[in-house]
A and B are shown apart, each in its own frame.
Chain A
Amino acid sequence: MALVLICLTACQRTSTFPNSPGVLPGWRAALGAEQRVRGFVLDPSEPLPRLDPRSTLVVVDRNWRVPEASTAERHRKVLREFVEKGGRLLLFGHATRMVHDLEIEAERPECSVYRWGFDRRAMSGEAELSMHVVSGHEPELFEGLTPGVSEHSFPITGGTPCHVPLCAWQVGGSKSGRVLARLGEVLDGEPAALGPPVVLQWQLGKGQVMACGLVPHLNHEREAVRTNAREFVARCADWAERQGGDELVLLEVLDRTPHDVAAESLGPPIVPWLAHWGWQVALYDGDEPDSLRPMEELVRDALVPGWMHGADIVELSLTDAQHGAPITWPESDPIEPPVTYRGTTPLGSWANGGFRTFADEAHTRGLLVFGGMDPLPVGDRPAERLVLLRKHARELMGLRRHGSSAWDGFGLRQWWPDPQGLGLAMVQDYQPSASLYCVGERVPKMAGSLRAVDADDGALRGLSLAGIADGWRAGFAFDQYPVGVLDARVVGDRFPGVGVRGGGSYGDWLVRQLNEFVRERRLRGGTALWRRHDPRNLGPDTVDYVQGLSLEPLRAAVATPLSATGRDGIRAAARELIADAPQDFGAAVDAPAAVHVLQNNWFRLLGSGGALAFDPRGLGRFESNAVTISPGFCATRMFGGRPDASEIKAERHNLLASGHRGEGDYRKYVRIAIGERGDGRLPALLAADHAPQWPAGVVFDWQPSTGYHELRAELRCENGGGLVGIFLDDTLLKAVACHGTGRQPELIVPVHIAKRGARTLRIELLEGHMIAIDRLQLHRAGDIGVEAEVQIAAGSVAKLLERSTSSYHEERVTLTAMADVPGFVMQTRCDKAARNLQVERRLSLPGYHTVTGSLPGDDEKARRQAFVLTSTDTSKPDICIVPLSMPRYERLRVDGQAVIWRGAPEPGLTTRIGFLFWPHGRGHESLQHLPRILDGIDRPTAVDLSRNGHMDLVSDLPITQSRLLHVQSDVRTPFLVRERGYWTMRGSQPAADGGVYLRVHQEPSDVVRIVAGPSVLARTRPGPGSLRILAMQEPTPRSVTATVLQKSRLRAPSVVMAVDFDEVQVNGKPWSFFDGRTIYLPDVPGIYEIKTTFAGARLAKPKDPHVRSTAAPLMACSYDAGTNELVFETTSGHNRPAGLPWTAVLTGPMPVAIENGEIVDAASLQLPDAAAQAAAERGGVLVRFRSGKTTVRYAGWNAVAGR
């Protein structure tokens, strides 16, 4: 017996595999305990351990990102041998592709990302993916699984929205595998047609392979799916055991999430988190053929103001649905015009080279210029689209012919699957450094191009409101979608191209869109474009919001009403119009639309009386993971006053007293004066876009008394109803969905009037068909009117004004915040007060009842000095409460969970108190300096630039601070700012009283220098498209140390030197990638020491051959005069298909030979005439080359005579 036991023990084999318990714990549990389970990470750089064919390898690739490389060479042979010798291989997700890599299957499966719920086809955005069994083989695999929509369909993964890996034979079928199941999809509850084979089995030698192109979701939120996923994995383990396996080995494929290095620690203290931002600018402003906006208008209204706010890109919308493209295309053109081409002749300032002049205006200022093509002005045939792109590239982007007037790329919203990158090739033949971005979830991929998030994909089926934000259609990874087109249309487009009309994108929605976009892309080369600078789409303050937000992406201070995202805002009301619309589409903030918020990346205050939330990470998340500091920050009580007997009156208006008016002869709005003579009849119907039959809205001119009024209305749906907005002046008070049939429930709209004078009350049908107003009354219902108003919309500083007026008092409360500063200043000013009136404000701060620090001399019963409140909850920050100025009889007192602020108001008295959030338990550290720091938030330091446009700033504070400067000079350029020795380009924010606001970072020992005005453009400075991504140290006209802070992705980072040069060295090595005075650098974050030399004009020495332009990621580029060779080499970090060569323009003579490349035949470029060809030749030599090292050889080069 003992012998038998000894023999059995000897036969028990010892595993040869390493075991990391942290690898796929969920899978280990699901695989069951019948067999021994081990696991390790499959690292392509490491050899595999010895594989025992008695084992079963389970390779799980949970990455949704498609693998760029095939299975490592060193693994292929080992794995194939393992299977041939009888091993079992189970593959999940993208690991399915290994069957092709191991030459088990001849047809390569397509690895893709299955996405549903990221565009406007979706409603809830839910997808359920199942294995639809189509074979009778291996039925045990599916035993015990719960069927889905059919008895053969077993859901194992999905999501809402759905974003999962899929590896399946979508193009060509499997040659040697046995198909067990195909992909089943249920989208928003509706089954779709059967998909490609997704579970297959192969036999190789003595071994077996089984692959599932989906990754079972073991923790899916739906129990049926979760259980199926676990059961299926367990059945797979059973299958392996049946095939003779005695050990399961889990191999987890390495995580492919890119880990870009954040550049924050690289140097400059204030770094823009977004690499580029700019406007999409409409070329047309009407439907007529000649309604082109003058170029001067675009430069004046869009390009220059954007540039001053830090924009470094502009996209001109070249095409629209009415006009086609503004490029004349004669039949005689060497590029044959497509039959379906729709174009107009450019007129006015656009004729005779206007587009080139526009590019010059942009490039001079350091902006890149892109052309927007939405829609494409040709049909849907690929050949026509390619030709169209080629023609436009030739006309607008001919670098060799047009030099600095050449445009920098195109934005497309339509294309076709272009894995070869033919579209890019069309363009880079003329402008080698051009970029293309394809906008939208559904645009097929064009190889080599960038993908852009499209705000229009955020529209809900049946609605035109656009935009993607946190919680709504989010899920566009930064590395896949580095570019984003965000929606800034307050008024919808009449002809929106291939997108949706948009509209309703008020300030609060712009903040949410941009914050969501920037969060993941910060310092990772993101580009935001705003749709669109078009007078027809802009609201009265849209430009202020867009430019202010983009000036300080994510960190900007913002003051805005919740018109779009409030609980009775546009989006919440619009959601009610659509049956089964997802909740996330609608309200995002639990406060009325009329509430005005003040926020930056650290805090959000829903008006002085609303909730105060704090984001400890400073990323502007206030819905989830935020700390609620107060559910209702400040409540004000008045007492002690007596009513004014001279003013007691009831105010009531029946706005339908004059009856209704019939159809016809209307404009968009009807104006009616309340309480005055004239035709006071209301139109019988309101209809969207039906003027002159019916107006869209009625505007009441009104001279109200202050106080609280109520508008009571009864609306009736006609022909489907729609979305109704009630506005006071231009501020949305309430949006309401009018749907169904007949009369709607009574609508009551609070109308607070705190500002005296003429007001307008507007009722407008914003979207939909028709409504009627059956009853409309307005009456004063309360004595106190509280009204908020945005004083400074967004940017480095934002300011909110709240007026409160009653028959006893008039008061203004101003709330001011700065970008990236975790606090705000509250100022109250009394304009009028009844005798004996007393005011008590209660600052509700639950949990904050301990004063942990105060300045000397403070009286705890009547505080007038700065003090610190610390919460019992350690997740909450300390609150430093800093009285900046207090009238004699005002006091603060900490009373349990609140701070009581009591005083007797007198006309003219002002109180200012600062609130600053500081890490828990550390509020006392800098308390003595806070009064000066907070004082600067609403009273910025006024400075004047010297005559040569610069000034120096020092600080006597011993701590670092973010300072707001009010530069009172007339500044027409962005600033160059030197902080901590780094020069960066920075936009500024116009001040209402003249000058601009500029935020700087001041360290105690640092002398901050700011420069603005024409001298900025005469210095060594960041080049086009590099204004936001480059910092410079010790710039001189001939040398500079440049720090690339983040990737550009659109264009190689560049520096423009102040003077001419002949030769360049970067980091001590020769560098031959420059054009004129612009030196291009690798698009890789890092530090580059640049030195130039100039032989002098006297020698008349032309420059050595060099690369003038290319999109190739060059890591080395130098000309060797000894060998007459120009050698350049690309990095491997790019997504260019192997079959798509790069192009470059080289200056210098015609090369005699190119290793790894070729000279492009001039005839193939189809230039319009001989003059154009001659001009192109003067601009350099166009070459094509492949990735890797390229050597261009020259012969007979006479350096003195030139070519």
Chain B
Amino acid sequence: MTDFAHRAAIDPARGGMLDAVERVTGRVPYTIDIAVPGMLHARLLRSPLPHARIRSIDVTRARRVPGVVAVLTGADLVARGDLQPYFGPVFRDQPILAIDTVRHVGDPVVGVAAADLDAAQEALDLVDVEYDELPAVFSLEEALADGAPLVHEEPPRTGRTFADVIVDAEPGTNICNHFRLRKGDVEAGFGDADEVFDDVFSSPPVQHVPMETHACIADVRDGRVTLWVGTQIPFVVRSQIAEIFGIPQSRVRVIVPTLGGGYGAKCYPKIEPVTAALALAARRPVRLHLSREEEFVTVTKHAARIRLRTGVTRDGRIVARHNTCHFNTGAYGDIGPRLIKNGGYGTAGPHHVPNVWIDSYAVYTNLAPAGAFRGYGINQAAWAYESQLDLIADRLGIDPVELRRRNLLRDGDRVMTGEPMVDAHFHELLDRAASWIGWDGGAAVRDGSRVRAKGVSVIIKGSVTPSTSTASAKLNEDGSLDLLTSSVEMGQGTHMTMALFAAERLGIPADRIHVTTPDTDVTPYDQQTSSSRTTHSMGTAVVGAVDDIRAQLVRLAAEELEIAPGDLELADGAVRPRGAPDRAIPFGELVRSSRSGNLLGSATFRTEGGLDPDTGLGIGSVHWHQAAGAAEVAVDLETGKVEILRYHAGVYAGRIMNPVQAELQTEGNVAFGVGQALFEEMVFDGGQLQNGNLGDYMIASVEDMPGELNTDVLEHRAANDIHGIGETSLPPVMAAVGNAVYHATGVRITDLPITPEKVLRGLRARATMEVPVR
């Protein structure tokens, strides 16, 4: 098979990826495969200390290394005076290179651009930096203590950000942002409760580990900045680079080759500012490609500690929730100030709870910055509320599945942010999960030294709202179509998905459609390829752009055929009078007769909503993403090792556009979840990462996958809506596994990951209490 043959054989009922042949031949170009003439190679010197004042930096010897073209420090950036040296998607709190202070181990201090990496590294080795160490904070407890050292002395600089972001920093403390949700009367709700459960659940920092680490090429010339970069959000990179350089956005060009994985790590500027600054200083194009060790200190998932006070009636109805959530956002805000909103309201869960009070905080510490991570706060939230739900079920003597059935949202119930639930499928998802796993009430079954048991979980997740996607399309004189979008291909198959939307709407084969990779000079605005929003938002925009072209085709044909537009139809790549294929005019002929060269179509899709900054009520999400998981595990009582025997991943998709990719994304969520459930954790000691490489930090291999995996992407075509599935089936995994372990052993692990050590400790504690293993 060749690439041409593959494209001709595209089956819309199956989907897949447009460039599949390029992907199995190693030819699909990532950022690291691009070379620009005259390009230099960059390396960064990073802070060895978690918090320190920079007393001096001596780069004299570094500058003398043959091949070195530019050596840059934060002080140089300030001295230049022509760059705004701070960036960040909410607060401008992150310096391009450290200015006076370093705030985490790995904070970039000096950048070098040289003819090759050997010269750049040699130069770094010759830089002398003297630091005065400052007291540092790493844990939430340390950061929140009275008199704690401040990670940022100054109040955060604000700047333009997303419409949904609510900002309420607490200067003079390490609280970077605070989100509140106030629904109903929480004290009255607790008054109605027969039992109140008060539990704390925590999640550690983990890393995204995209197989392709961050890479960027920058070229500054002719008054413009051009970047080739693997980013999920090209338009925020463009606006931030324009802000840094003080130039119009039209003079920043961001080109996005396919990504070797993103998972949120490649949202918002990371290495783009320093690469561009080095290109400016060197007056040559510069490439920066992070090592795996650097990737680990560039962005992480937020560690979180979530306290849930949950009031329930004796018959198992949740009547009040008072949740306090702390997210460790590290040394710089990144998107943490927004993530705590989603992660905060998310702790109310997919349940009908009339009275909710939530405080959610982003907390600065001297660890690597935390940012967007697949699941966006809901992993941490769902781990808490779905774990607690099984404790409640146990205490009340109610079957965990039945307890969920009594509380899960139905159409018309108010979700936590106050809007009525529509298109609810929680019950259906739970029933399917319970049925597939063979739900047995959570019975523990002894099998030699192992105990087997099952667990379930159900989650709700929002998608960023309001948001905007614009698509444009060009119908060519041969009837083929160019589709222009800024949606980023990162393995989810969005280019095929968009081609399938256009093919279906225009009635032409997908192989007659080309989907352009994002290039801000060419492709129109898309807010972000994240939040599981692209198929819904950009897909709708693509359909609109094609409809724009359809209307033009009908107008042209109506003139040519002298027939009312209402009497025409589109079929088989032509416009024709209804039921008269013999009078059909092919698209290409209409384009030629238009004398426009091509027909241009465009459309914008906007979602409306947002939350009140004081109450957190309003419209939290354009629609609500829904998923359920069911796990059967075996726990070895002698070693504490947990094996996931079977797993069911259920997710509501509405309509499925690209079936193979929908399955792959769901399977991928399980792989992600297995790691976070059982072994992934970034371990710090005194702010120093102990396992920042793939020898010491484990991610799931093929051997870690559940013995049997059921991928259940639930489709309801009649609903005529498309729900994102890129993240949705991930958050249930950790809690479903944790609940299964709980039912197998009686050991309730409250802090991820569920390691053999913790399970054994739990088993010993139970033995000491003379509580028999069930």
Decide whether A and B are members of one complex: no
Residues of B participating in the A interface, judged by any CB pair closer than 8 Å: none
Residues of A participating in the B interface, judged by any CB pair closer than 8 Å: none
